[in-house]
Structures are given as C-alpha cells and as structure tokens.
Chains A and B, each alone.
Chain A
Amino acid sequence: MKTITAIAIIGLIGLASVSCSPERAALVEGKPGVQLWGENCMRCHNTPSPADFNDTEWSTVEMHMRVRANLTAKESEKIFEFLRSAN
C-alpha cells in the first residue's frame, strides 16, 4: 500500500512540474466566465443554463457550489457573473 501511495505522490509531483509554465498560467487567468462555466459546471452534473435561476438565486448557488465543488475564488466569481449577466 505504501508503495502505491508513494508512486501516486511522485506521479502527482511529476505531473505538476511538467505542467508548470507561465503561458499556461496566463491562459487560465484570461479565461472568460462563459468558458469556465462550460468546462466546470458539467464535471459532476449536467450544466445548468443561465435562465434556470434569477440573480439572487444564482448568488446563493454560487456560494454553495464554490464550496462543494472546490472552485477557486476567481473561477467562481467569473462563472457566476456570467450566469447573472446572461439570465
């Protein structure tokens, strides 16, 4: 078991270091809310549309999902701003 854990950890660190580059960071930084919505909100369930909720409801869902889905602060800010602007 310990070996599996060790391999997993080494693998993770390896993947992390391979994937490190300033261009990638800038790419993620520059993603608009609509794209982050498309990429993230389908990871666990089907993607809701902006029209499914009103602004107040979206802001409640925002906090619920940010915590439950472990979204980064920036990500969730952009996604829910988009949802509130397009409903």
Chain B
Amino acid sequence: MKKIILPLLIIVFVGNLYAQQDSKPSKTQFMIRGYGSASFTLLNDEGEKESSFNTGNFAPIFLFKLSDKLMFETEMEFAYENGELETVLEYANVMYTLNDYMTIRAGKFLLPYGTFMERLHPSWINKLSSTPLGFGHDGIAPSSGVGVELRGAFNVSGSKFNYSLYSTNGPTLNDGSDEPEEAGILHFNNFEDNNNNKSFGGRIGFLPFTDSSTEVGFSFLNAKVGDTDSTYEDITASLIAYDFSFIKKINPLGGIIDIKAQYNKSIVDDASYIEVHDDGDEEEYTFANTSDSFYAQLSYRPTMSESKFFKNLEFVGRVSELNTPEGAEWESNINQKTFGLNYWLSWRSAIKVNYQITDGEGGHGGGLIDKKLFTIQWAFGL
C-alpha cells in the first residue's frame, strides 16, 4: 500500500505546484479529478436481513496534457472488499491526436463495448447506485483492455458518426482446471496475454439528428480465448453489443428525459470441460456457451420547475436481465428492477435512494434468487 501512496502524494504535490502557476500556464497541464462514494445498504435475501454502512470507493483520476495533441490519463480505484483494500488500475493510457478525425490511444483503456462501462459507470454519472446485470464482476461484457485503439468522429450532412477500432490482449477462457465451477466463463482483465492471438474489436456510433439527442451504436469484439498449447487453443469468442441513448429537454414535460439501453451477447465456441464428482470420478461435459444481458433505463429530471428543490430531483427506473448458458456450472437467469430517487447537490454530486428487486435462479450459490436491496448512496465527483 505504501508503495502506491507515496508516488500519489508526490504527484499531488507536483500537481499543486503546476496549479499555482495559473497566471503563467506551463506547457504541461496537470489535473487531478476523480470520484468517490459512500453508502448504506439494507439487504433482504430470501427473508434474511443484513444492513451495513459501506466505505464505497475512491477513484482518483490524473490527467496530463503534454501538448495540444498529446495526453496521458490514468485512473486508480480503491475499494474495500471483504475487509481488504483492493487497488485496481482502471485505466492508464496515452493518446495522440493524428488529425481532426483520428486519435490513437495505447495502454489500458476503457473499452467502447456499448456505452455503459466507457461513459456511464462512474458513480457520479451512473444515475443508480448499482451497475446493470451483465457488467462488472461476473459480467459478460468487457470493461477495459490493454492494447491500441484508433478513434474519431465526423459529420456527414448534419448527422454525426463516431468510430473506434482496437486490438487488445483480449478475454481469457476459464477452462475450469483451477475453478471447475467457472468452466467456460470469460475473464476480461488481462494485463498479460494467455496466447499470441490478439482480440479485434470496435464500435460505430451514429447520431442521426442535428441536435445530437439520439445515438445508436453497434460494438463487436472477436478473439481466441484459450491458452496456447492447450486443447482450448482454437476456441474463439465473439461478442456483440447494441446501445441506444436519447436525451432531450422536453418543454411540455418540464424537464429532461434520458433513456439509455444496451444489449450484450457473448458466443464462445463449444468445448469440453471436466466435472469432478464428490467421489473423485471425472466426467466430460459440454454446453452451448452463449450468454446475453440487457438493460434499459429511463430517467426524468424536472429542470424547468420553479422550485429549487424539485429542479434538483431526478426519478429513475431501470430493468435489467442476465442469462448465462444452460448446462454450465454458472447457469443463471436473473431479472432485476431498480427504482431510484436522486437529489443533485451539484452537477457532479448526488444523494441516491434506490430500491432494487432481483429474482431468478442460478448464479454462484445455485438455487433461487430473491433479493431486495435498499441503498442510500452519496456519490461525488471531485
């Protein structure tokens, strides 16, 4: 831990030196931003009640603008999980603007696989305190990758397109040799590759209307996912996602309507995995390794209200579902509904009150899932 805190403090100190020279801006610009959250949760898991204050997370972001074309960005995330401090390097990449239509990035970056992880997951942006099913831990959608990316945006007669093409180390297949209950799952967090094949992916976004209110996107990611020299060497995964976004101030409704949705699908080639029975016998099994997940979120904020209090309120509803393969040890069909009421203290700080109902079957524990979660979260952008 000390190893991380010391360099952090040095960066903060040097950053302040830069900041103090505002009247004479240095060529290198440095900025610390980031976000954090704290929350209280009350969980009813099939009748068993648990409540807890959570330290939530703290995620500092460092931005170094080295010239008009060159920039370095990095984000670290600190969170307490099961009594231990977890540190994650969310991203760390350098970007260089080649021309008006192309920027190249290299390092670890958030993947434009749909829009949730790249654009909406920080706690001060996410309108609910939880992530939709299918993202994050045990998710089927990748959040970041290590590699290179080319991206850009351009106008075509009043409509706007944006694109991203990337190659990364790619996902890894869990073949079950260490964790038989996870056989067939893809892992996405790969600083080092398990094979020589690099993944290839991208997203194309289209904003048809001149007011940029609507965007539809299509993303894909293809890769070989097995370990080199294993029987899984030639197993490939192909992932696709569709995303939709609509946001507009609608005068007759007196405020802003915001709709976000994303569908993810992951298809992994069939492979045989080994199940070890209690008596030590081994059995080969296989299944169609296809998973999908979906979420849609609607929110409304009465920004045109006369009352300062109502202006800062926001009403949110989200449905989400996750289906993992039938026949897998991690087979599940889960549905979730989340309702939220937010009070915005500033443009990047909100108190969120959420009620979330999750039901279905499967997952790690197996059996039926019936959870009701009440959360109060204070999310703040720094």
Contact = CB atoms under 8 A, between A and B. Distances in A.
Contacts of B215: 43
A63 B105 contact: no
Contact of A20 (B152, B157, B211, B247): B157
B240 interface: yes
Contact of B25 (A40, A56, A70): A56
Interface string B217-239: 01000000000000000000000
A87 to B, nearest CB: 12
A3 interface: no
Q: Which of A52, A54, A60, A63 has the largest count of B CB atoms less than 10 A from its CB?
A: A63
Given A70-B153, A72-B154, A73-B101, A19 B159 contact: yes
A21 B157 contact: yes
Nearest to B346: A46
Nearest to B204: A12
Category for how many chain B residues contact A: 35 or more
Contacts of A44: 119-120, 125
A47 B97 CA distance: 25
B208 interface: yes
Given A46-B344, A48-B347, A67 B160 contact: no
Interface string A50-87: 00101111011101101111111111000000000000
Contacts of A24: 157-159, 210
Given A54-B22, A72-B153, A73-B100, A28 B158 contact: yes
A82 to B, nearest CB: 16
A69 to B, nearest CB: 8
Interface of A: 1, 5, 8-9, 12, 15-16, 19-25, 27-28, 39-40, 42-49, 52, 54-57, 59-61, 63-64, 66-75
